[in-house]
């Protein structure tokens, strides 16, 4: 990783030039002083991050290999630089009427403009929220509240993120109604059932995850959106695994994302509500963020989120080209080299960076611990690894084996050598666990 920083003064920034140093081989964050100080100090901080990162040489076996980007991607170097640069001016309340507040406002406006431009939406359609979860809650409950005169029914896929399902539970507990639409064995939405659910009376909102965070299957959002348009029902798309990685699908009215999925800091979500969408805040009144989410935003983190979003999106096509074959390799090698394993999710219409498989007769928690001891950080949808002791509702909806489950998700720092080491060690780890449990011949 090459990061060069030049600083010739203290204090920071107007943020308007936050992101204007892209070049063919570098992504930059430029932090300039407030315009009033510009003549005096010029540019005071620059951070350039080479697009061709030179990865640190790892010591041999045992060095940690982080393979859980779908939970949280490692902080992008652009996010780190932007966060540090924005700390000095990011503390003031952007709504106030004095110099410090104006500088904070400029940073916030610049971040919003950059994020909106990256997503191809209007800046006034985009709000920053305290997390992706908060954004998902607001998307569901606000979308339902805005159309309560039409009805109280939410139609959603069976494989939504738990944040969406928990919002749906809240809606049902308050007297509303929710219809869950099934998926097939590959985790792909049943479009006939989706169309039938939308044709029913009183549908206020439809929710469809853009791509499954658990198994990677990309959902048929454009087709689902056409049925929504025919029925006059707004579509909410949870795009947490797509934003910063893949082009957004067409046809949605409300969309959410989460910064730590693309290498931004934790604690920043995105809520996009398209113009003309009937959406009403489910929270007590608060004028910030267009009245969509209450409270002062964590401005330094928001700036870092916007800067890293732009950097991640600029690299997304190249990262897809690099990571998708590594995922193909994992899918193929796990299926052939680990006996009695079920690789799940759509093999073709899938996220470029994520793969999930289940190992027959293996305890998921034991497998995670064994992998952790060898330095591999992965996630699992097995019941024994969840606080509720229930299997993943996604694996359940697909009807695939839920025990011995492992989700591997790659990121910009993942190397081919990391993947090879994982593939070299996994068969032995699974074999040892099966031998310990006495299930080898079953």
* Closer to another protein by Cβ: residue 132 or 364: 364
Residue 86 three-state SS: helix
CB of 88 to another protein, least distance (A): 51
Site residues for another protein, 1-20, by CB under 8 A, read none
Q: Which residue in 60, 58, 59, 61 sits closest to 428, CA to CA?
A: 61
CB of 202 to another protein, least distance (A): 29
* Active-site hit among 384, 386, 415, 431: 384
Please tell me the distance from the alpha carbon of residue 31 to that of residue 407, in angstroms, as a whole number.
38
* Closer to another protein by Cβ: residue 369 or 390: 390
CB of 391 to another protein, least distance (A): 4
Q: DSSP string of 332-392? A: HHHHHHSSSEEEES-SSSB-TTEEEEEETT--HHHHHHHHHHTTEE-B---GGGSTT----
CB of 362 to another protein, least distance (A): 7
Q: How many residues bind another protein (CB under 8 A)?
A: 23
**Integer angstrom CA distances of residue 436 from 362, 367, 401, 430:** 10, 12, 21, 10
CB of 214 to another protein, least distance (A): 13
Q: Which stretch binds another protein (CB under 8 A): 17-25, 75-83, 292-300, 356-364?
A: 356-364
Residue 285: Cβ-neighbour burial (10 angstroms; 0-12, 13-18, 19+): exposed
Site residues for another protein, 143-202, by CB under 8 A, read none
Question: Which residues does 135 contact at the CB level (< 8 Å), separation at least 6?
Answer: 129, 256, 257, 258, 269, 270, 271, 293
Given 293, 380, 383, 414, the residue binding another protein (CB under 8 A): 383
CB of 346 to another protein, least distance (A): 17
* Closer to another protein by Cβ: residue 25 or 441: 441
Residue 220: Cβ-neighbour burial (10 angstroms; 0-12, 13-18, 19+): middle
* 439 near another protein (CB under 8 A): yes
* Closer to another protein by Cβ: residue 100 or 386: 386
Please say whether the beta carbons of 127 and 35 come within 8 A.
no
Q: Which residue in 366, 417, 365 sits closest to 391, CA to CA?
A: 365
Residue 438: Cβ-neighbour burial (10 angstroms; 0-12, 13-18, 19+): exposed
Does the CA dihedral 369-375-376-377 come out positive or negative?
Answer: positive
Does the CA dihedral 144-147-148-153 come out positive or negative?
Answer: negative
CB of 382 to another protein, least distance (A): 7
Given 89, 160, 214, 363, the residue binding another protein (CB under 8 A): 363
* Closer to another protein by Cβ: residue 76 or 403: 403
Given 21, 361, 375, 423, the residue binding another protein (CB under 8 A): 361
Given 123, 223, 360, 431, the residue binding another protein (CB under 8 A): 360
Q: Which stretch binds another protein (CB under 8 A): 203-211, 266-274, 331-339, 354-362?
A: 354-362
* Closer to another protein by Cβ: residue 109 or 396: 396
The DSSP call for residue 241 is: T
**Beta pairing partners, 3:** 49
**Integer angstrom CA distances of residue 375 from 66, 249, 268, 382, 407:** 8, 36, 28, 20, 15
Site residues for another protein, 385-424, by CB under 8 A, read 389-391, 395-396, 399-404
**Integer angstrom CA distances of residue 424 from 21, 47, 268, 410, 414:** 41, 38, 37, 17, 16
* Closer to another protein by Cβ: residue 30 or 217: 217
Binding mask 303-332 for another protein (x = CB under 8 A): ------------------------------
Alpha helices by DSSP H, 254-363: 259-262, 299-337
Given 280, 328, 340, 425, the residue binding another protein (CB under 8 A): 340
> Does the active-site annotation cover 384?
yes
CB of 334 to another protein, least distance (A): 15
* Closer to another protein by Cβ: residue 382 or 414: 382
Site residues for another protein, 20-59, by CB under 8 A, read none
Please say whether the beta carbons of 359 and 406 come within 8 A.
yes
Cis amide leading into 13 (omega within 30):
yes
Point out which residues bind another protein (CB under 8 A). Answer: 340, 342, 360-363, 382-384, 389-391, 395-396, 399-404, 437, 439, 442
- Catalytic residue annotation: 384
């Amino acid at each position: 990783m090459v990061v060069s920083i030049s600083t010739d003064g203290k204090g920071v920034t107007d943020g308007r030039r936050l992101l204007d140093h892209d070049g063919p081989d570098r992504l930059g964050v430029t932090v300039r002083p407030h315009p009033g100080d510009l003549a005096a100090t010029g540019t005071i901080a620059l951070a350039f991050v080479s697009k061709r990162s030179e990865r640190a040489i790892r010591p041999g076996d045992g060095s940690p290999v982080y393979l859980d980007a779908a939970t949280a991607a490692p902080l992008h170097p652009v996010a780190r630089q932007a966060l540090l640069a924005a700390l000095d001016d990011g503390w003031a309340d952007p709504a106030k009427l004095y110099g410090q507040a104006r500088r904070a406002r400029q940073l916030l406006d610049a971040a919003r403009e950059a994020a909106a431009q990256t997503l191809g939406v209007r800046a006034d359609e985009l709000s920053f929220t305290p997390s992706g979860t908060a954004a998902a809650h607001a998307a569901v409950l606000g979308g339902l509240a805005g159309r309560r005169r039409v009805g109280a029914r939410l139609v959603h896929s069976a494989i939504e993120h738990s944040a969406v399902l928990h919002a749906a539970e809240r809606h049902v507990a308050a007297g509303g109604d929710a219809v869950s639409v099934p998926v097939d064995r590959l985790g792909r939405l049943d479009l006939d059932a989706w169309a039938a659910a939308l044709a029913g009376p009183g549908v206020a909102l439809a929710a469809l995850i853009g791509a499954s965070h658990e198994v990677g299957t990309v959902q048929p959002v454009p087709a689902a959106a056409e049925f929504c348009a025919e029925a006059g029902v707004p579509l909410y798309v949870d795009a947490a695994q797509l934003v910063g990685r893949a082009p957004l699908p067409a046809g949605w009215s409300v969309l959410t994302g989460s910064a730590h999925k693309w290498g931004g800091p934790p604690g920043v979500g995105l809520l996009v509500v398209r113009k003309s969408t009937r959406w009403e805040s489910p929270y007590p009144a608060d004028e910030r963020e267009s009245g969509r989410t209450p409270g002062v935003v964590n401005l330094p983190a928001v700036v870092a989120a916007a800067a890293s979003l732009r950097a991640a999106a600029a690299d997304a096509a190249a990262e897809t080209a690099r990571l998708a074959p590594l995922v193909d390799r994992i899918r193929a090698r796990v299926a052939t080299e680990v006996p009695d394993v079920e690789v799940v999710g759509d093999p073709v219409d899938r996220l470029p960076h994520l793969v999930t498989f289940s190992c027959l007769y293996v305890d998921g928690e034991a497998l995670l611990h064994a992998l952790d001891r060898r330095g591999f950080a992965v996630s699992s949808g097995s019941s024994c690894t969840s606080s509720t002791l229930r299997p993943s509702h996604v694996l359940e909806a697909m009807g695939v084996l839920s025990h011995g489950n492992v989700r591997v998700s790659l990121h910009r720092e993942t190397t081919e050598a990391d993947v090879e080491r994982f593939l070299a060690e996994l068969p032995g780890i699974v074999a040892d666990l099966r031998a310990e449990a006495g299930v080898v011949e079953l």
